[in-house]
Structure 1
Amino acid sequence: MRHPIVLVPGFLGSVLDGPTGPLWAPGKPLLQTLAELRDPDTARHPLTLPGDTSSVRASRLFPDVAVLPGLLRTTGYARTVGWVREHFAVTEAPGGGLLTFPYDWRLDNRVHARRLAEVIDLHVAEFRERTGTADAKAVVIAHGMGGLIARYYVEVLGGWRDCRALITLGTPHRGSVRALDTLTGGFRHLPGVRTLTRGFPSVHQLLPVYSVIDTGAGHIRIEDAAPLPGVRPDLVGDGLGFHREIAAAAAYNAESFPAYTHQHVTLPLVGTRQSGTLQSARWNGHRVVCSAEPPGALVPPVLADGDGVVPRVSAMPPALPEDRCRFVAAAHSALQSPRVLTGRLLELLVRLQSPGPLDVRGPSDQLARVAPAISSEVDDAYAGEEPATLRARVVGAARPPRRLLATVTREDGETLSLVLLEVAPARYEVRSALSAGLYDVEIGADSGSPVPEAVQDCFAVLPRAAS
């Protein structure tokens, strides 16, 4: 090991402990969690201030499935940490080569970036002393919103000097329409999600910064639209400022420091082929309706996909050449899974531990679209009063499979095998009565020409009282 590895999770990816017990943690009932995260008297947390005086602590990475219905879901990070330990023989001891960075994902991401700079500086110094590797730098792997935190650290705070590489997994470098949909519409079974997220600076920093609002006379940016329901104008402006700080610093660094382009590399892993990824929104003066239609001529229809949460165009940082990106047919919730990391990043991560120049060119976009893929269309959560309908589709197959096979695993380890039957050309679904809880799901095929690769995802089934 020449360079320590830093893992930065995405939104929801950190356990939060409050003054009287856990606020966001495995096994805690979702409805109770939503109430406590929203209640300032319970959370006792100044959401727009640094965490120095806060009684809420982000204690560790969230290990397993976590779902905030209507906004995001993730399969968790225990398997990611295990994968890094297995392949690189690292530990989380001081200077041990692995640093995990939990954070309070409700806050302004600038707060976390400053703390990330502090803990990376300390860990790298300890690693250099322990190993005698004087030129050691951090290799940062960041999922989702964690990539925005890491980019602020790298670009605005000068972290590129001590960062060998930044690998972003489905990071919304240009924002996500899913955040707009949550703030303006919420989740039909849990209206409290909309109320909860409206006060979070972080969610407003996830809003799209490009032209996605269709007014009927063209597409405009959110900041140029009339005040939208559920969206706070002050936090919209702050979120846009956050992205502008990153862009301005990146341009300045590239122009001012010759070492910037030689000592550091940013490489995005872009999730694709998930056809339900929201791309744009229509504002009729009364309500916002988000859809998977591309935002006008900005995005060709063939590229109007993504990982189910982050559009393809957003997961590619502005001004970064396309050949610096790597593409994978996967859902956002599982981009940090060992399956994806082994298939797409293991060789790169091994190469980063060696001296010499680094070739970061990934497969072209055209090559990435050739192989057939499964698009997961499971919901974030299902009402407990009715059977869950799991849906998927197959894209890019000359001869779609006759059926899809799903392995569904509940949080307590109970496993169920389901068959998704074709209900329309290349579209599949199955209905199943599932007990309340959090579920991993892997959807694959045993036929087709060629056979599409399996996709991983997750979802929640709500208690009956929540329906």
Structure 2
Amino acid sequence: MSLLDIPSFQRVAPRRPLIFVPGISDSALAKKIESDTNEEQWQYFWPPPAPPSNLPPEVKKRILDGLHSHIRSDPDDETSVKAMGLWPSTCDYLINALELSGYTLNVNFWIFPYDWRQSNRISGKLLADFIEDKVGKANSAQHEYDDDGVDIINHSMGGFVTRAALSYRAPIKRVVYIASPHYGCPLSYFTLQKDVPFDLYPQYIYEPSVDGKAKTFDEQLKDAYRRFPSMYELLPDHVYLKTKPFLYSNDEPQYGEKQTYFGNGWGFTEEFPVHAICDALSFKKNLKDLPPTDKRIFYGDKVPTPDIIVYQENSSAPSNKSEITTTDGSKKGLFCRGNSSEGGDGWVPRVSGMASMSGKPSHYSKSFEDTHLLLRNNIYVIKEALGFLTCNEHS
């Protein structure tokens, strides 16, 4: 079914300029390369041009070299990596719908690509600068818009980027969050915990394990991801962990940040992850947001979503767990993941997606039975977003 097949989809009058902020890994990245000319030349390294199992060695090397490139620790840092637009085709339905509805790309509607490896604090500052530039351009065009700022639609981690921009006083007036992990995502733990087997977390980019042993390229990809500050900001935060443990150590629930991330047999001990987690938790505590009247939260529901991680260090663990010997050989255990009855969108648990640890939806949130990646192109989500962004203030 195409957009034009939906009778209720109508052209609207945009109230103010709109910016779309994508999620993690959805921005295409390129690395600056040496050139014999005075013009800058950039070589794409992300997204992968094919599934990892089909990539030649030189392409794998280019991807890993790019991912391991310098990551900004300050918005003014120079870096050899540049965001070059969206991962092709990932958000085509959303973009086409917005254009059919009355928005014009690069006139009153822009996409904000960013280096999703860096902290969302930095991406938020860059988004605030991006907004300042685009608001001026939109107001200089001959269109009748409210001149008080912009509206935002974001997906997934783009919600953190948006809230970080608010901390820099960006003139954001209305926000639509789609599948944003407001309080974190337990699945990020699988990527960051170096000893977790590859067959226990999502395979959307990683090659499958062979005989229980991960391939070298998989290991290198995971090492790269463990360097990204943004990954640590996706971990469940203080709000999540206060009421809903996701880690069970020898059947005991681990509550709170300290006990979950540092105080058990699978706690993080390496210097970089420890500092990265502390910085991430501090970042999350200082995020800003708009009042309920100025935002809408659309989240996934009823899709099985891994949100429980269990390990045991003794041989009496249930048979449905997998035996693990860690990379340093220092400990053995039995490890599994599971789904609670609450569900979510396959990646983000329902309570985090709806921004309500009580599990009770608010008047400004709405659930959709769809998966994390499909929600951003769900026509009913888009229609709800447009209805909110184009209605009268506080209606």
Same fold (TM over 0.5): yes
The CA distance in 2 between the partners of 1:217 and 1:228, in whole Å, is 14
CA pair 347-214 structure 1, distance change in 2 beyond 3 A: closer
CA contact (8 A) 1:142 1:168 kept: yes
Give yes or no for the alignment of 1:141 onto 2:181: no
CA contact (8 A) 1:280 1:293 kept: yes
Residue type at the aligned position of 2:130: V
> The residue matched to 2:231 in structure 1 has which SS?
helix
Give yes or no for the alignment of 1:217 onto 2:252: yes
Partner of 2:104: 90
The CA distance in 2 between the partners of 1:134 and 1:343, in whole Å, is 26
**Larger RCO: Structure 1 or Structure 2 (Cα < 8 Å, ≥ 6 residues apart)?**
2
Deviation at 1:35, TM superposition (A): 4.0
The CA distance in 2 between the partners of 1:311 and 1:349, in whole Å, is 25
Structure 1 segment 273-422 matched on structure 2, within 5 A: 273-275=302-304, 277-284=305-312, 286=331, 289=335, 291-294=337-340, 301=341, 304-317=342-355, 322-337=362-377, 340=378, 342-358=379-395
CA contact (8 A) 2:179 2:300 kept: yes
The CA distance in 2 between the partners of 1:288 and 1:103, in whole Å, is 38
Give yes or no for the alignment of 1:113 onto 2:138: no
Superimposed CA distance per residue, residues 17-51 of structure 1 (whole angstroms, 9 cap, x where no aligned partner): 112311103626645665444437x8542353436
The CA distance in 1 between the partners of 2:280 and 2:127, in whole Å, is 19
> The residue matched to 1:268 in structure 2 has which SS?
strand
CA pair 266-35 structure 1, distance change in 2 beyond 3 A: farther
CA pair 149-207 structure 1, distance change in 2 beyond 3 A: same
Partner of 1:11: 24
CA pair 204-90 structure 1, distance change in 2 beyond 3 A: same
The CA distance in 2 between the partners of 1:25 and 1:200, in whole Å, is 16
Equivalent of residue 235 in structure 1, options 262, 270, 276:
276
Partner of 2:44: 22
Partner of 1:70: none
The CA distance in 2 between the partners of 1:288 and 1:34, in whole Å, is 32
> The residue matched to 2:306 in structure 1 has which SS?
coil
Deviation at 1:222, TM superposition (A): 4.5
Superimposed CA distance per residue, residues 311-354 of structure 1 (whole angstroms, 9 cap, x where no aligned partner): 011112258962221100011111111xx1x2134144144224
> The residue matched to 2:363 in structure 1 has which SS?
helix
Superimposed CA distance per residue, residues 123-153 of structure 1 (whole angstroms, 9 cap, x where no aligned partner): 1222123224343532211111111111121
> The residue matched to 2:180 in structure 1 has which SS?
coil
CA pair 288-349 structure 1, distance change in 2 beyond 3 A: farther
Give yes or no for the alignment of 1:182 onto 2:191: yes
Compute the RMSD of aligned alpha carbons.
2.7
Q: Structure 1 vs Structure 2: percent identity of aligned residues?
A: 23
TM-score (norm 1): 0.62
The CA distance in 1 between the partners of 2:221 and 2:69, in whole Å, is 19
CA pair 77-186 structure 1, distance change in 2 beyond 3 A: farther
Superimposed CA distance per residue, residues 35-76 of structure 1 (whole angstroms, 9 cap, x where no aligned partner): 444437x85423534364111100101123xxxxxxxxxxx1
Partner of 1:195: 223
CA contact (8 A) 2:103 2:109 kept: no
Partner of 2:296: 267
CA contact (8 A) 1:8 1:146 kept: yes
Superimposed CA distance per residue, residues 73-132 of structure 1 (whole angstroms, 9 cap, x where no aligned partner): xxx12332222111224121xxx1111000111111111000000111221222123224
The CA distance in 1 between the partners of 2:311 and 2:226, in whole Å, is 19
Residue type at the aligned position of 2:297: P
Partner of 2:4: none
> The residue matched to 2:97 in structure 1 has which SS?
helix
> The residue matched to 1:273 in structure 2 has which SS?
coil
Residue type at the aligned position of 2:162: A
Residue type at the aligned position of 1:221: G
CA contact (8 A) 1:273 1:307 kept: yes
Q: Which stretch of structure 1 is more off in the superposition, 318-327 or 96-105?
A: 318-327
CA contact (8 A) 2:154 2:162 kept: yes
The CA distance in 2 between the partners of 1:9 and 1:115, in whole Å, is 14
Deviation at 1:194, TM superposition (A): 2.2
Deviation at 1:241, TM superposition (A): 0.9
CA pair 354-218 structure 1, distance change in 2 beyond 3 A: closer
Superimposed CA distance per residue, residues 391-437 of structure 1 (whole angstroms, 9 cap, x where no aligned partner): xxxxxxxxxxxxxxxxxxxxxxxxxxxxxxxxxxxxxxxxxxxxxxx
Residue type at the aligned position of 2:338: A
CA pair 29-344 structure 1, distance change in 2 beyond 3 A: closer
More strand by share: 1
Superimposed CA distance per residue, residues 175-207 of structure 1 (whole angstroms, 9 cap, x where no aligned partner): 111110122225243333322211111111111
CA pair 311-35 structure 1, distance change in 2 beyond 3 A: farther
Residue type at the aligned position of 1:315: G
Unaligned runs of 5+ in 1: 65-75, 251-259, 295-300, 359-467
Deviation at 1:4, TM superposition (A): 1.3
Equivalent of residue 138 in structure 2, options 120, 124, 127:
127
Unaligned runs of 5+ in 2: 1-13, 34-42, 200-207, 209-217, 314-330
CA pair 233-325 structure 1, distance change in 2 beyond 3 A: same
